[in-house]
C-alpha cells in the first residue's frame, strides 16, 4: 500500500429494511451480524471471494444498521472498482459479502 491508506466508511447493511438479493428478498435483523475480528471481513469486488480489495478496520452497530470502515488496497483492480462504483465523488452504501462472517447472521426472508 502507499504511504496513506485509502479508506471507505459507510452503511454496510441497513437493519429492518427490505432488500433484494440473489437469495431473494431479505431483511437483516438488528444486531444479528457478528464477526470474530473486523479485519476478517473483506471488501470484495462483485461478492467474489477471490477478488478481495480491502478489509474492515471498524464495524459498529448503529440504529440505522451496520456501519463500516474499510482500508482499500492500491491495486489497479481496487482503483477500477472504486471508479466504476462512483465512490470517487460520492459515498453510497457499500456492498460487502458476509461469507467470512460467523454463522450468527440472521436474516428475515420477505415476500
Q: Indicate the SS3 state at residue 84.
A: helix
pTM for the predicted model, two decimal places = 0.69
The per-residue pLDDT for 98 is 36
Look-up of cell digits 491495486: 75
Q: pLDDT band at residue 3, thresholds of 50, 70 and 90?
A: low
Per-residue pLDDT reduced to its tens digit, 14-60: 898 888 877 788 888 887 888 888 899 998 887 788 989 999 999 99
pLDDT(103) > 80: no
Q: For a pLDDT cut of 90, what percent of the chain falls above it?
A: 12
Please provide the distance, in angstroms rounded to a whole number, between the alpha carbons at the two ends of the chain.
44
Contacts of 66 (CB under 8 A, 6+ apart): 11, 12, 13, 15, 28, 33, 59, 60
Amino acid at each position: 500500500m502507499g504511504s496513506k491508506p485509502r479508506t471507505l466508511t459507510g452503511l454496510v447493511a441497513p437493519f429492518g429494511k427490505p432488500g433484494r438479493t440473489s437469495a431473494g428478498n431479505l431483511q437483516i435483523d438488528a444486531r444479528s451480524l457478528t464477526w470474530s475480528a473486523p479485519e476478517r471481513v473483506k471488501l470484495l469486488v462483485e461478492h467474489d471471494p477471490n477478488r478481495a480489495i480491502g478489509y474492515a478496520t471498524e464495524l459498529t452497530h448503529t440504529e440505522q444498521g451496520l456501519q463500516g470502515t474499510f482500508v482499500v488496497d492500491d491495486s489497479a483492480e481496487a482503483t477500477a472498482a472504486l471508479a466504476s462504483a462512483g465512490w470517487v465523488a460520492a459515498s453510497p452504501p457499500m456492498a460487502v459479502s458476509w461469507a467470512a462472517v460467523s454463522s450468527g447472521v440472521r436474516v428475515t426472508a420477505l415476500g
